[in-house]
Every structure is written in structure tokens, then in C-alpha cells.
A and B are shown apart, each in its own frame.
Chain A
């Protein structure tokens, strides 16, 4: 079965999933309203957006220098930097670091790049037990699902589903405990997670930013699990994409003002942590070993192409939260690690257009994503580029593209197009006969399967316009 069918089937299933539809109603008050309110508190949103865009764009233009500077600084701080061309290389590096330390139990902070490289399944195959410690990630790990949202991974679930997973997994706890409220679920996760933290041999986190000037990895969180993941075990491994590096902490400060407001509508999150190497000799606590794994996995190729600006992304999720398509189908229907407009612009670069060509087409090009992006990524323009790429590769199918080519012939010649439209309208009027609408037509069964066409008017809009203006 082709991917197009899979996507459209998944989207259709999502539309009739009443629990998911219930969860999706939280997008508006949970994300859109909070973001708007938080941005309203800033004096100069457009000035900050332009500053943020230029910081990210300039960093991408000098990525080689920044990565080398970052590497040298991490080493000077006593840490190690590893480079991974692709997902397999990244997994091997991480497994090697862990097995050299004899690590069996691993705690993890939230990281989309480790989702991207499918790290957990790989670790399990090597006898290492990873535990996601971010509440949302923990829930979807128990459910063996992918995150449905890059900021709120378990956003699609109802608390009763979480309760069921906790009861199944935490079998050592009293079966009669009350667990039908959110506070009870959060408290249980907190106490279960403490035992995992205590037993952990190594912690793995992602990074929101890397700072070249200081050799610092930064995480932006609300729960505090990322910090316990770094601080309690003997080793801390940061896994992140090569595009995350910026020159200085001053740059991060500008980006941070937009990141948290755009993501969750907070002026700043509960925790922002600057992690520069292992614990110093006399420090009271902290990890003894510090590793950063820099993952390319398609990013350097994107850097040298028309989709380059997607690498400016700071993963706030605002484009998902404001997308009318994401808003009705949720994240899983996309069938890729990164859903929504960000995913539609990024996934073809990571997974190849052959697997992902339907994602850039899952957009009405309304442009809301462009207008809410804090770093001004032209998301619709990049999606349009991927549509062209798909077409150039004969995707989704020869017949589809044959039709599209013919439509293109007419669309580019306005007079011919108007003539054809006139003929078509006439034919459709005849076919409709006396009834006001058309419910079938030869060769267009698919289109008519879910909709009717009103009988076309006698005169087209354009001809009426010409006469009466």
C-alpha cells in the first residue's frame, strides 16, 4: 500500500477518533491563547523576531566555525564531543559510551533527536534499559507510541488512558489506590521516577541550544527531570543536532525570550539549565563524565539547499499549535517524528522525499505557520519546494502528475484556462440537468464520493465582473 493511502487513512481515522478530537480542543486555550497573551507582554515582538531570525541564519552560515569552537570549549571544560553522520552512527556512539562505563540503567530527559534516531529500541536490544523521565515521554514510552507533539508528547491522551498505563506498569503499588485525578498521576510518576533516578548509571538529554563561546549545552524545561537526569548519574550524554549551535549566551538570551513564549506562553520556563562539561573537582555534585553527540542525519545536506531555513527552527511548536491541519488530525497521522508544518518542511530532508512526499501536501498553505514562527522560517515556501521535488520524482504517481501537468498547461495560459472553464461549466450544467447539484461524474468518482458540486452558474464570475465593474 502506498504512503499516500497510509497518510490519508491515518488522517481519516484521526478525524473519527473522538478522544483525540477532545484532546485537540485544548490546542486553542492550551497553546494559542497563552502564546498570544505572553507575546502581548513584549514591547517589540517584530524586532525580536527579526533579531532571532538573523541570529539563527547567521549561525547556520558559519556553522563549521561554531561547531569547532564549541568542540574546543567542551574539551577545555573536560568533556568529549562525538560526531555522527547518521542515526546508526549516533546509536553506535551512545551504546559504546554506555557499554564502556558498564551502564545498564539509563534515565532520559526529553529529546526529539533521540526519537529521530530511534535510540530507545536500540538500547533495549543491547541490554540497556532506558527510562523516559519527562512525564509526557514516560507515558508514551509505556504506550510504545511516538510523541504526537514536539513540546507535549502525550497531548493526545485522556487521563483515564494514562491511569490505565500506570496501573499496568506500576504493579508493585496498591491496586486500590485512587488514580483518577491529574495530581494523583503526577505524584505517582514523581515517586516512581525517583527510584529510576537513584538506580541510573547514565543520563541522556537533548539540548535546546549549544553555545560555541562557552561550550555549553542548554535545556529549557518545566518539570526538572532533565536536571535530575544530568545531575544524579555518573555520566551525562547530550544528544543533539548540529544545527543547534549559536555563538554566545547573549544570543541565547534573545532566542529564549521568544522560545518559551511561543511554545507554552511562559515568559520563561521553570528551569533553564546551562551545562558546561562534567562537575569540577571540588563541586558538591554533578556528573563525572560529559559527552556531547552531534548528529547530522541529513542536516548538512539541507544546509546547502532550498530548504536551508528549516534549520533555523528552535522547536517551539507554535506552527503545530496554529496549523488547521494539525488541529484536526493531531501528530500521529503524519507518520513521522516531526509532525505539523515543521515536520512537513523538515522530514523530507531527514527521511527522503520518497517516504514523506504526502506531508508537504497536507497543508492548505494558509500561512499561519509562517506568521507565528518566532524565527521567521518561510514554512509554506519550503513545503512548496518539497512538492516540486515530489513531482520531479514522479510522486505520488504517474497518473496524478500527468493530470497535474495538464492542469499546469491550462493554468499558465489564462485565456485557454477561461475557455476550458467555460466548456467544463457548460458540460457540468448539462450533466446536472434540472437538479441544482451534481453528485457524480465519469472518472471523478473519488472526488464525488464525499461531496457534491453545485450546478455551475450560467455566467462565470469573471465574465460577470467584466460586464458590471
Chain B
């Protein structure tokens, strides 16, 4: 008998008749998703800005980097639509396609954002490099207003409409952190120390 058969047999011996539990009814969503998202994201130490339109992102990013005296360069994955933004409008900013490392800055589009928890959602794809959400020291994330949904449940519905699951879906809430030394929170354990969200539109 293979291990698979042996385990399944043993598991079947422990089968019970148990009706499926009723789907838990979450209370109806009230309130504005955008303001709630911003409030929740800020509570996890993310920085949140609103910009009038997505094309304003390059100048905004330049000014944020300049204000904290950080290097004026950003990393963008080769096939990302972030490359199509008018980067020429921020002439002081260098755009690089190399993988970010250490304290580099990177820019990405989120596929969705979740208001309940202030969470960004990224699907792996040709245009989207999953590891880039964990490699830079500073990540700038662009999210369009209409993609901010109330709860993770809405994202699950969108995933069900896709042709199969993406290989990786990352839910990102605030910067990377650890409390492994003396139960005290320190930022930037492995992933970004700073997470800056720009809400557009």
C-alpha cells in the first residue's frame, strides 16, 4: 500500500457525517471604502497620499523622495505598466529596471486594495514581479480608487472570475516588520521599511 492510500484509509476511518456549516454572514458594508482603506493602511504605518490622476505619480514620488533626502531613483520591472507613466515629468528621477535591493525604491500597481484592513493585493503575472514587493527598502504602490474594495471576499470573487489562480497572490498590509527580539516591533525585517501608497483618480 502506498503512503497516499494508507493515509487516505486512515483519514476515512475518522469520517463523520456533519452538515456543511452555514456561510457566515458578514455585516453589510457601510462607509466609504477609500477613506476607510486610507485610515486602516495608515494605522499599519503605511504612508497614504491621494493624487488627482495616475499621471501625477512620477512628480509625487520625486517630491516624496526629495523631501526625505533619499536617492532620486526608482526600480520598475521591465514589463510593468508603471513604465508607461510620464516619467519625463519628473526629470530629476532615474528609472531602473534592475532588481531592487537593500534600500532601493520600487514602484508597482496594485490589482486591488481592501478597505477592511488597509491591504494591497498583487497578482503574479508577466507585468508584475511578486518578489519585488519584498526586495526594496521602500515600495511605492499605485492604486486606482475604483479598485479599492470593501473586503477580501470581493477579491475572492474576482479571483473566481479569472481563468485559474495566479501562481502567487500577495496581500500586503504596511511595511515588513518583526517582533522576534524581545517582543518589540522593528520595521524592515526582510521586506520594505517604508510603504507609500498613492490613491489615484
List residues of A whose CB falls within 8 A of some B CB. Answer: 23, 26, 29-31, 43-44, 47-48, 51, 54-55, 57-58, 60-64, 67-68, 77, 83-85, 89, 133-136, 139, 152-155, 157-159, 162, 182-183, 185-187, 189-191, 193-194, 214-216, 222-225, 227-228, 230-232, 242, 249-250, 253-254, 256, 264, 267-280, 282-286, 294, 296, 300-301, 303-304, 308
Inter-chain pairs besides A227-B130, A277-B167, A284-B126, 7 sampled, C-beta below 8 Å? A135-B178, A136-B178, A157-B181, A280-B166, A283-B124, A300-B14, A304-B14
A–B complex contacts, Cβ < 8 Å, 20 sampled? A31-B183, A47-B24, A61-B15, A64-B15, A154-B181, A183-B186, A214-B165, A223-B190, A227-B133, A227-B170, A264-B179, A270-B44, A270-B175, A271-B134, A272-B173, A276-B168, A279-B168, A280-B166, A284-B128, A285-B124
> Closest CB of chain A to B149's CB: distance in Å?
13
A286 to chain B minimum Cβ distance, whole angstroms, is 5
Distance from A232 Cβ to chain B, minimum over Cβ atoms (Å): 6
Kindly supply a per-residue 1/0 record for chain B positions 152-179, scoring 1 wherever the CB is within 8 Å of any chain A CB and 0 otherwise. 1100100100001111111111111111
B190 contacts A228, C-beta separation under 8 Å: yes
Q: What are the interface flags for B178-197 relative to A under an 8 Å C-beta threshold, 1 for contact and 0 otherwise?
A: 11111110101111000000
Contacts of A284 in B (CB 8 A): 77-79, 124-130
Residues of B within 8 A of A51 (CB): 21, 24
Q: Are A274 and B169 in contact (CB under 8 A)?
A: yes
In the complex, A69→B14 CA distance in Å?
A: 18
Residues in A with CB closer than 8 Å to B4 are 83
Most-contacted residue by chain A among B21, B79, B125, B135 (CB, 10 A):
B21
- Report whether over half of chain B's contact residues are helix, strand or loop; otherwise say mixed: loop
A269 touches B178 (CB 8 A): no
Contact A283 B182 (CB under 8 A): no
Task: Given the known inter-chain contacts A228-B131, A273-B169, please indicate yes or no for A190 contacting B190, CB distance below 8 A.
Answer: yes
Is the CB of B84 closer than 8 A to any CB of chain A? no
Contacts of B21 in A (CB 8 A): 51, 54-55, 58
Q: Contacting A270 at CB < 8 Å: which of B125, B130, B191? A: B191
Contacts of B17 in A (CB 8 A): 61
Closest to A186 in B: B186
Give chain B residues whose Cβ lies under 8 Å from the Cβ of A225. 189-190
With a cutoff of 8 Å between Cβ atoms, the chain A residues found around residue B171 in the complex are: 268, 271-274
Assuming the contacts A43-B27, A224-B134, asked whether A152 and B191 have C-beta atoms less than 8 A apart, the reply is: no
Beta-carbon contact of B190 and A285 below 8 Å? no
Distance between Cα atoms of A402 and B117 in the complex (Å)? 57
Give the residue name and chain of the A residue nearest to B135 (CB): A228
Looking at the assembled complex, report how far the CB atom of B172 sits from the nearest CB atom of chain A, in whole angstroms.
6
In the complex, residue of chain A having the shortest beta-carbon distance to the beta carbon of B159: A249
Which of B5-13, B55-63, B65-73, B140-148 lies at the interface with chain A?
A: B5-13
B101 within 8 A of A: yes
Are A249 and B156 in contact, CB atoms less than 8 angstroms apart? yes
* Cβ A273 vs Cβ B168 within 8 A: yes
Question: Do the beta carbons of B10 and A270 come within 8 Å of each other?
Answer: no
Q: Which residues of A contact B167 (CB under 8 A)?
A: 77, 275-280, 283, 286
The reply to whether B188 and A83 contact each other, CB–CB distance below 8 Å, is no
Q: Which residue from B8, B124, B133, B190 sits with its C-beta under 8 Å from A280?
A: B124
Bound together, the chains give a CA A191 to CA B103 distance in angstroms of 11
Q: Are B131 and A63 in contact (CB under 8 A)?
A: no
Residues of A within 8 A of B126 (CB): 282-284
In angstroms, how far is the closest chain A Cβ from the Cβ of B3? 4
Q: Which of B6, B11, B131, B153 meets A231, CB within 8 Å? A: B131
Interface string of B17-33 (1 = CB under 8 A from A): 11111011001000000
Residue of A nearest to B137 (CB): A190
